[in-house]
Structure 1
Amino acid sequence: MAARRVGEGCTALVTGASAGLGAAFARSLAKRGFGLILTARRAERLEALAGEIRRDFGSAVTVLPADLADPEAPAILVAAIEAQGLSVDMLVNNAGYGIPEIFERTDWAAQRDLIQVMVTSVAELCHRLLPAMLARKRGWIVNVASLAVFAPPVPGSTLYAGVKAFDVRFSEFLAAEVAGRGVHVLATCPGFTRTEFHQAAGMTQATDTIPGWQWQQADVVAEEAVAAVLAGRGPVLVNGTVNRAGALLLKYLPGFVIRALAERHPLAKRARFDAVEK
């Protein structure tokens, strides 16, 4: 008789599931027996992933396209889930992106949408789905943050580290609030990860100069995060041994050393060049 998988009888909602880390989270959870609710803007990509997961893992998959930049989207998404008679046992707040442009030159609407996707919708989905988890005394929440929270500040993507810092602190405080009540909360902080993220943000010219040993694969990041939250570890996970060592080192380095490192970072050099050119 096959051993029961930890996710059997449970359903996970994954945002930003159409590619990259979101798709990797979906596969990792399906492997563990979770049913899935996949959401992102690109319906055709979601349907392709859903077909793959049904074929490879036999999982039940529901596709609910949504644009979380729309302030109404979280409420509409949760209502659609409830209308289908589904409940969410695990929430993976993965949706996100970067704006590489210098802050002063970016339309506020673009920055506002970034905050909506990576701060407001994260908090709202947690707020709407947490009560049922607590009532069942079972649930898991993964908020995808970033190593950028710990990294030296560099020009460009100015709001990105700030919103990811929110995700970390929010996760820490939420974890403390629900401790001992059957719900586990984790902020996972990957570093450079092989996804479409940098290409979509127009950052490949800068990231191409980053050594290969600093990169991780999306499936490795997702596996580590899923294993950690299911084991009740957290509330903060820095993904990968190299990244954990770097984050720890940065915590104790003097400020002038951190500033010097930031000045030499490839992303900083590219941002300064772009600022002069424009």
Structure 2
Amino acid sequence: MGKKTAVITGASSGIGMELARLFAADGYDLIVAARRAERLQELAEELGGSHGTTMHIIQMDIAQPYAGKTLWQAISDITPDIDVLVNNAGVGDAGDFAGELPEVVERMIHLNISTLTALTRYALPGMIERKCGKILNVASLAGFQPGGPGMAVYYASKSYVLSFSRAIRRELRGTGVSVTALCPGPTSTGFEQTARAQHTLLFHWTRPMAASVVARKGYRGMQRGSGVVVPGLLNKLLAISPGFAPSLIALEINRFLLSERR
């Protein structure tokens, strides 16, 4: 039997890079996609040397309209069959919605929602036909919240990922294909800088988890076939907390936590 193949988006840093290392250590070959090809080339050399991993690099901006279709065509040119799809790539932005740049909002929606959904749709028929396959969608602890005033689109996009993952997991029951949503809290990935979230009270008052720890929890949960993985005891408590507080109170708390630290 040949080696299994995993596709990972956003593998050039953070959780995606750590997941790539975990898959390589378990004997998978990789197809990775990200904008920063030089980082991917360094990772390919590392994993090839340490694990004999073959890593195919697809350099493209998958935050563009219809990027999912274009990326899937590139993946299919490498292999018609993939065993695991990891939708890790994502982006965020902090600030009141009315002041955000429209192009930033559109890129966030394309990357966090549209590309993830399209790739999942393209991957599933082959997995169902082979009666095996795993999908890991990286959502967020934010997905459990009623909303995030100050990061409105990001919170909404992660709620979508969590809801979408849960629904198709139920649809796939009995097919041999599993879907796992990884929902980390604040994590040291570089995201907090690109999202301008490092200036918020939330990131000031919390101690971010290491990306390697989050990736390992998500990887193990995916391999077990878990539906939702929330790394960390405190994060688990926060994930269920919205069920005990009225939405209006939760929104006010989130507005406070996502306000800029002064």
TM-score surpassing 0.5? yes
| Matching residue of 2:218 | 225
The amino acid that maps onto 1:191 is G
For 1:142-157, what aligned pairs fall within 5 Å after superposition? 142-151=136-145, 153-157=147-151
1:261, distance to aligned residue in structure 2 (A): 3.1
| Matching residue of 1:96 | 90
| Matching residue of 2:193 | 199
For 1:33-182, what aligned pairs fall within 5 Å after superposition? 33-85=27-79, 87-151=81-145, 153-182=147-176
The answer to whether the Cα contact below 8 Å between 1:14 and 1:37 also exists between their aligned partners in 2 is yes
Q: Quick one: structure 1 residues 256 and 71, their matched pair in 2 at CA, closer, same or farther if it must change by over 3 Å?
A: closer
1:188, distance to aligned residue in structure 2 (A): 1.0
Q: Is 1:30 aligned with 2:24?
A: yes
Q: Quick one: structure 1 residues 49 and 177, their matched pair in 2 at CA, closer, same or farther if it must change by over 3 Å?
A: same
Paired residues, what number?
A: 261
Q: In structure 1, how many angstroms separate the alpha carbons of the residues matched to 2:127 and 2:199?
A: 43
Q: Quick one: structure 1 residues 144 and 262, their matched pair in 2 at CA, closer, same or farther if it must change by over 3 Å?
A: same
Q: Which has the larger radius of gyration?
A: 1
| Matching residue of 1:242 | 234
Q: Quick one: structure 1 residues 155 and 56, their matched pair in 2 at CA, closer, same or farther if it must change by over 3 Å?
A: same
The answer to whether the Cα contact below 8 Å between 1:145 and 1:190 also exists between their aligned partners in 2 is yes
Between the aligned residues of both structures, percent identity stands at 35
The amino acid that maps onto 2:40 is L
3-state secondary structure, aligned to 2:89:
coil
Q: In structure 2, how many angstroms separate the alpha carbons of the residues matched to 1:16 and 1:52?
A: 17
The answer to whether the Cα contact below 8 Å between 1:38 and 1:63 also exists between their aligned partners in 2 is yes
Q: Quick one: structure 1 residues 230 and 222, their matched pair in 2 at CA, closer, same or farther if it must change by over 3 Å?
A: same
Q: In structure 1, how many angstroms separate the alpha carbons of the residues matched to 2:42 and 2:80?
A: 21
Q: Is 1:13 aligned with 2:27?
A: no
The amino acid that maps onto 1:220 is V
1:269, distance to aligned residue in structure 2 (A): 4.3
1:107, distance to aligned residue in structure 2 (A): 2.4
Q: Quick one: structure 1 residues 138 and 112, their matched pair in 2 at CA, closer, same or farther if it must change by over 3 Å?
A: same
The answer to whether the Cα contact below 8 Å between 1:14 and 1:39 also exists between their aligned partners in 2 is yes
Q: In structure 2, how many angstroms separate the alpha carbons of the residues matched to 1:232 and 1:257?
A: 34
| Matching residue of 1:268 | 259
The answer to whether the Cα contact below 8 Å between 2:87 and 2:116 also exists between their aligned partners in 1 is yes
Please report the TM-score for the alignment, with normalisation by the length of structure 2. Answer: 0.92
Q: In structure 1, how many angstroms separate the alpha carbons of the residues matched to 2:39 and 2:22?
A: 18
CA RMSD of aligned residues (A): 2.0
| Matching residue of 2:243 | 251
3-state secondary structure, aligned to 1:96:
coil
Q: In structure 1, how many angstroms separate the alpha carbons of the residues matched to 2:80 and 2:48?
A: 17
The answer to whether the Cα contact below 8 Å between 1:13 and 1:90 also exists between their aligned partners in 2 is yes
